[in-house]
Structure 1
Amino acid sequence: MSEQRNSPWVLDTRELGRRPGLSRKLARDVEVQVPLGVEGVIAVPKGAHVELDVLLESVVEGVLVSGTAAAPVAGECARCLDPISADDHDVEVEFTELFAYPDSITEETTDSDEVFRLVDDKVDLEPVVRDAIVLALPAAPLCREDCPGLCPECGGRWADLGPDHRHETIDPRWAALTERFRPDRDA
């Protein structure tokens, strides 16, 4: 559970009263305190806001939490190395997680890292949302789907270089002959 009991990620479930069948919808806007992802590659940056739309459902074994989380992402394009702006790109994920009641059969029959637990009738959504977002982020983010990338010879952006851009490559086996018959060579 988050160190802060009044963290915006922590939701109170006492209103459900451990009566299976009761549910409650919540919408929250939570500011990210620690980047979600790998900064410099792709992440939800610190200070960005995650929009949560959550349904809390009381079930026999605990509280089933399902919903969506949407947030802007920032990083660097894997092809052209241009920045990916948080204004232009975002991630939206769905999540469903059971938070087991203390002393429930689910709590007794699972390891502590297999299922989340309710602590003082509260659920902490931060690890659930963090895991869902990080897993949804691309391993090789692109500024746009058709990004042409960089020229491997000079490092210029293909988008700026134009279709006629090329580098003359000489087979190393012929390089000595090229040097010998160069027109500007002293005789």
Structure 2
Amino acid sequence: MNPRSPFVLDTRKLGRRAGSQRHHRLEIPAPAQLGLEMIGVPEGTPLVVDVRLEAVTEGVLVTGSVTGTVSGECGRCLTAFTDGLAVDFVELFAYPDSATEETTDPDEVSRIEAEHLDLEPVVRDAVVLSLPLTPLCRADCRGLCPECGELLDDLPDDHTHEAPLDPRWAALAERFSAADEADSSVRSE
């Protein structure tokens, strides 16, 4: 843990008396790779992290929220878009000498190290888990026409394409079209 990271908070002023609290409002540039393949928070974009640190028997309970902006590509129409981000989180950071420290695996609960706690993994988990796997530019996005690839929102409502004939049926179609032509020529005579 790097104590100079903007995500790292010092807990010494909080103390260990259960119930004591401190509030922090941090404006932090987003770290790299904060997102998924099609949507995420661009690196360096400002994130606002509001947190309340509360001393509890086993450690420090951190309750907070992250707000910022996400950029993505719509999963239906493939256009770029931006949207607001607002995510809440709650995390217990265990004291080094607590019962929680002794009874849990190292990866199971966050830890306080040298009187500091690192919010970056908590913020990263909260943000990434809140992002949609298939982001949409808007809820009613109709996407692209599967035939011509144009935006369906830009096309008229009666937009259609003649369906291509499956080559496996071509011989049968030729036979019936020849039969229909012969049948119509007999009727005309």
TM-score, normalised with respect to structure 1? 0.88
2:12 to 14, 31, 56: 14
Q: CA deviation at 1:170?
A: 5.0
Report what 1:28 is aligned to: 26
Q: CA deviation at 1:21?
A: 1.0
| Unaligned 5+ runs, structure 1 | 182-187
SS in 2 for 1:25: strand
Structure-2 change in CA distance of 1:74 and 1:179 (3 Å): farther
Equivalent residue pairs, number: 175
Report what 2:153 is aligned to: 159
Provide the C-alpha distance between the structure 1 equivalents of 2:176 and 2:101, rounded to a whole number of angstroms: 76
Report what 1:37 is aligned to: 35
Matches within 5 A, 1:21-170: 21-39=19-37, 41-85=38-82, 89-169=83-163
Percent identical: 53
| Unaligned 5+ runs, structure 2 | 180-189
Structure-2 change in CA distance of 1:28 and 1:168 (3 Å): same
Check whether the contact 2:68–2:85 (CA below 8 A) recurs between aligned residues. Answer: yes
**Greater helix content:** 2
Structure-2 change in CA distance of 1:163 and 1:157 (3 Å): same
Provide the C-alpha distance between the structure 1 equivalents of 2:22 and 2:140, rounded to a whole number of angstroms: 43
TM-score, normalised with respect to structure 2? 0.87
Give structure 1 regions of 4+ aligned residues with deviation exceeding 2 angstroms.
170-181
Corresponding letter in the other structure for 2:158:
D
